Chains A and B, each alone.
Chain A
C-alpha cells in the first residue's frame, strides 16, 4: 500500500511539473532567452542536445557563422531562431535569437549544405542531428 502511494505521489508530482511547463507557454521570447543565458553555466561544456531538449520553444531557423576570415570552412558559431523567415526580407524577424559559440569549430561546408537543402523548411531532424553533438562554449542572445 505504501509502495502504491509513493508511486502515485511521484506520478502526481511529475504530472504537476508537466502541467506547469505546458500551462505557462513562452510568451516573451527575449525574456525567456535571457533566462537561458543567465543559466548558461548549465550548458557550457555540454552537447547542444542538452540545451535543445530543455528549450521550451521550438527552433525554427538556424544560420551558421564562420567568423575566421582566413578559414571559412570552420563554423565558429550558430544562430538559432524561433521564427521561420520565408525570404531574406523577413530575416529581421528571426531576432531575438540564440547564438551558440562552439568549443570545437564545426564543419561550415556541411552546415551550409544543410542550410541550402532545408532552407524551405528552416529546421529539420537532420539539422538537429548535425548540431546535437556540438559542444557549447558560450551562449548569448542576439536582438
Chain B
C-alpha cells in the first residue's frame, strides 16, 4: 500500500469515526430528552389524578392547576420538593352566603382569635402534600378563590422556624403554624400524637421532652347571633413528660402531668362573619387585588414566587436561617396501609421502566427466552443540581429529570450476576438495576435478590427498586416500601440465606415451602404453575415477615401491579392458613 493510499484511508477512517460519534451522541440526546418528557408526563399525571376528589370545586382547582402547568410545567419541580397532593383530603374554609356580611377568615385559639388576611374574602382550600418516602404532611398548596379570581401559593412545614414563638397557638406564630400542619397530618394520615423535636416550640411547657396530642376530633361550632362563626376547633394538650405519664398508664395532662409541664389548648380555624347589622367598618368583598386575573402563585404569606413552585428552603432569597425540617414528627405512626405503599411503589417502578426506556434496552438482549446466563444493566436517574446549592449538596437538593438505561449490558453466570454501574454524582444516581432470569431459573426475584435490593437501598437513598425480566416473559419489580422494616430484616441475611436461596430449616424457609405447596397445587393445571406459585409464595413471606418490601409484576398494559399475599389463620381451623391476594 502506497503512502498516499494509507493517508487517504486514515482520513476516511477519521471522517467515519467523527460521523459515527455524532450519530451516537445524537441518539443519546434524543433518548435522554424523550426520557425526560416521559418522566414529566407521568409525574404530572399522578399529581393531577392520584388521590383525586369528586368535589366539583376541587375538580375545578385541579383543572386550574392543569392549565397553569401547561405554560411552565411546574408540577415535576413541585413534586421533587414536597411530594404529591391529597386532593381528596382538601381542607375547605368556605365563606357563608349571607349577603351584606363582612367575612374574615380566622385562625387561632378560641380565646385569642387571630385574624389573618383581614378584609380579604373568598374561599380558601388547603391541599396537603406528602412525599413518597415519608409518612407525614410536609406542605400545603393554598388556593384562594373568589367570584373573579383564583390564586395559589404554598406553605411548608419548615417555615414555622421563621415565625415568632407564642404561648398560645395562633396562625401567625410558630406554634399555631405547627398545630395547623399537625391537623393536616391528622386529616390525611390519622396521626394524633406528635413528638415535639424542637424544644423551642410550645414554650409554655418547659420540659425537655414534649409531646402534642389531639384530644378530640375537630368540631364545628355555629352561632345564629349577629356574629356568626363557622369554624372547626382542635383541642390538644402539650405534655412535657410523656415518660412520666406513660409510667402511670396514661398521658392525660389533667390527671397525671404536673402543671407548668403540661397544658391543654385549642386551635380553631374558619370564618368569622359579622352580621350586616353589627358591621365593623369594612365593607363587602374586597377581593385579592388580582380581580379578573387567574394568576396562580401570587399572593400568600410566605415562600411565594412567580413560577408556581413551592419555596426552596435553600434559596438565599428567602433568608431562611434554620434547617429544612419540621420541629415535630408523628410519635406513634398509625398502621400504614400496605396497599397504599405498594401501589405507590408500583407506580414509581412503572415510571422508571417507561421513562428509562428499559423495554428498549431489554430488547437488545438476544434470545431472552433461551439465554442460559443472567444478563443485566443499571438504570440511572438523571437530575440537575439545585441552582441555589453553593457547595455539593445532598441528593435532596436535586431535581429528577428522567431516567436512562445504562449502555453496557453485562453477563453473569447461570445463577448470578454482579452489575457494575458508573455515574457522575453531580448529574445522576443509580436508580435501579435489571437482570434476567434464564429459563431454568424461577421467574421472580430470589431471596438473594431481595437482600441485595435492601442493601442497595440502605446505601443509596435514590435507589428505586430492582427489576427482573424472566425467560417466560414476565417482569417483576421489587421495591422497599418500609425502610425501617427492611433494615431490620437485612440483619437476618446470614441466618436466612444460603447462596441465592432460603436456608433450609429456617422459619422463613418453612413458611415459604408451605405457601409454595399450596399455590403450586392450586395452579396445578397451569403450565406455568411453578413460576406463579413461586411469586405468590414470595409475596406471602414478604407480608408475613414484615420485610418492608413489595413485589410487583408487570401486567399486559405494561404497568407494574403489586402482588400482595396475606395469610391469616382460619378461626375455625387453627392449622389452616387462608391466603388472600390483596391490593388488586
Q: Contact residues of A with B, CB < 8 Å?
A: 63, 65-73, 79, 85, 87-89, 91-95, 101, 112, 115-116, 119, 140, 142
Contact pick for A92, options B447, B448, B575, CB 8 Å:
B575
- Interchain Cβ contacts under 8 Å between A and B, 29 examples: A65-B513, A65-B517, A68-B500, A68-B501, A69-B441, A69-B442, A69-B448, A69-B500, A69-B501, A70-B416, A70-B446, A71-B414, A71-B415, A71-B441, A72-B440, A72-B442, A79-B513, A87-B521, A89-B576, A91-B517, A92-B573, A92-B575, A92-B576, A94-B517, A95-B575, A115-B524, A116-B524, A119-B521, A142-B513
Q: Bits for B463-501, please: 1 = Cβ < 8 Å to A, else 0.
A: 000000000000000000000000000000000000011
Q: A residues within 8 A CB of B446?
A: 69-70
The CA-CA distance from A70 to B575 in the complex, in Å, is 31
User: Separation in Å of the A77 CB from the closest CB of chain B?
Assistant: 8
A88 contacts B441, C-beta separation under 8 Å: no
User: Separation in Å of the A107 CB from the closest CB of chain B?
Assistant: 13
Known: A73-B440, A92-B573. A67 touches B524 (CB 8 A): no
Q: B residues within 8 A CB of A93?
A: 575
User: Separation in Å of the B373 CB from the closest CB of chain A?
Assistant: 10
Q: Bits for B358-376, please: 1 = Cβ < 8 Å to A, else 0.
A: 0000000000000000000
Known: A65-B513, A88-B522, A91-B518. A70 touches B530 (CB 8 A): no
Q: B residues within 8 A CB of A71?
A: 414-415, 440-441
The CA-CA distance from A112 to B520 in the complex, in Å, is 10
Chain B stretch 426-452: residues in CB contact (< 8 A) with chain A: 438, 440-442, 446-448
Q: B residues within 8 A CB of A142?
A: 510, 513
Residue of B nearest to A115 (CB): B524
B521 contacts A88, C-beta separation under 8 Å: yes
Q: In which size bucket is the chain B interface? A: 20 to 34
Q: Assess whether B192 is interfacial by the CB under 8 Å rule.
A: no
B517 contacts A67, C-beta separation under 8 Å: no
The CA-CA distance from A71 to B516 in the complex, in Å, is 16
Q: Assess whether B505 is interfacial by the CB under 8 Å rule.
A: yes
Q: B residues within 8 A CB of A88?
A: 518-519, 521-522
Q: Assess whether B199 is interfacial by the CB under 8 Å rule.
A: no
The CA-CA distance from A31 to B229 in the complex, in Å, is 75
Residue of B nearest to A79 (CB): B517
Residue of A nearest to B573 (CB): A92
Q: A residues within 8 A CB of B521?
A: 63, 85, 87-88, 91, 119
Q: A residues within 8 A CB of B518?
A: 88, 91-92
Q: A residues within 8 A CB of B440?
A: 70-73
B577 contacts A92, C-beta separation under 8 Å: yes
Which 10 A-B residue pairs are closest in the complex by CB-CB distance?
A70-B415, A69-B446, A88-B522, A88-B521, A92-B576, A70-B441, A69-B500, A71-B440, A91-B518, A69-B442
The CA-CA distance from A95 to B505 in the complex, in Å, is 16
The CA-CA distance from A73 to B530 in the complex, in Å, is 10
Known: A112-B530, A142-B510. A67 touches B501 (CB 8 A): yes
Contact pick for A140, options B415, B501, B505, B577, CB 8 Å:
B505
The CA-CA distance from A87 to B518 in the complex, in Å, is 9
The CA-CA distance from A65 to B521 in the complex, in Å, is 12
Q: Assess whether B26 is interfacial by the CB under 8 Å rule.
A: no
The CA-CA distance from A79 to B517 in the complex, in Å, is 10
Q: A residues within 8 A CB of B500?
A: 68-70
Of the candidates A63, A67, A101, A140, the one having the most CB atoms from chain B within 10 angstroms of its own CB is: A67
Q: B residues within 8 A CB of A119?
A: 521, 524
Q: A residues within 8 A CB of B416?
A: 70
User: Separation in Å of the B125 CB from the closest CB of chain A?
Assistant: 51
Q: Assess whether B222 is interfacial by the CB under 8 Å rule.
A: no
Of the candidates A71, A91, A94, A116, the one having the most CB atoms from chain B within 10 angstroms of its own CB is: A91
Q: B residues within 8 A CB of A95?
A: 575
The CA-CA distance from A89 to B572 in the complex, in Å, is 14
Of the candidates A65, A67, A70, A140, the one having the most CB atoms from chain B within 10 angstroms of its own CB is: A70
User: Separation in Å of the A128 CB from the closest CB of chain B?
Assistant: 20
Q: Bits for B92-110, please: 1 = Cβ < 8 Å to A, else 0.
A: 0000000000000000000
Q: Assess whether B248 is interfacial by the CB under 8 Å rule.
A: no
The CA-CA distance from A70 to B441 in the complex, in Å, is 4
The CA-CA distance from A107 to B502 in the complex, in Å, is 21
Q: A69-B500, A70-B440 are in contact. List 8 more A-B contacts (CB 8 A).
A: A69-B441, A69-B447, A70-B414, A70-B416, A72-B440, A72-B442, A91-B521, A94-B517
User: Separation in Å of the B369 CB from the closest CB of chain A?
Assistant: 15
User: Separation in Å of the B438 CB from the closest CB of chain A?
Assistant: 8
Chain B stretch 56-70: residues in CB contact (< 8 A) with chain A: none
The CA-CA distance from A100 to B188 in the complex, in Å, is 52
User: Separation in Å of the B236 CB from the closest CB of chain A?
Assistant: 49
Q: Bits for B406-420, please: 1 = Cβ < 8 Å to A, else 0.
A: 000000001110000
Q: B residues within 8 A CB of A69?
A: 415, 441-442, 446-448, 500-501
Q: A residues within 8 A CB of B414?
A: 70-71
Q: A residues within 8 A CB of B510?
A: 142
Chain B stretch 501-541: residues in CB contact (< 8 A) with chain A: 501-502, 504-505, 510, 513, 516-522, 524-525, 530
Q: A residues within 8 A CB of B448?
A: 69
Q: B residues within 8 A CB of A73?
A: 440
Residue of A nearest to B520 (CB): A63
A72 contacts B517, C-beta separation under 8 Å: no
Q: B residues within 8 A CB of A79?
A: 513, 517
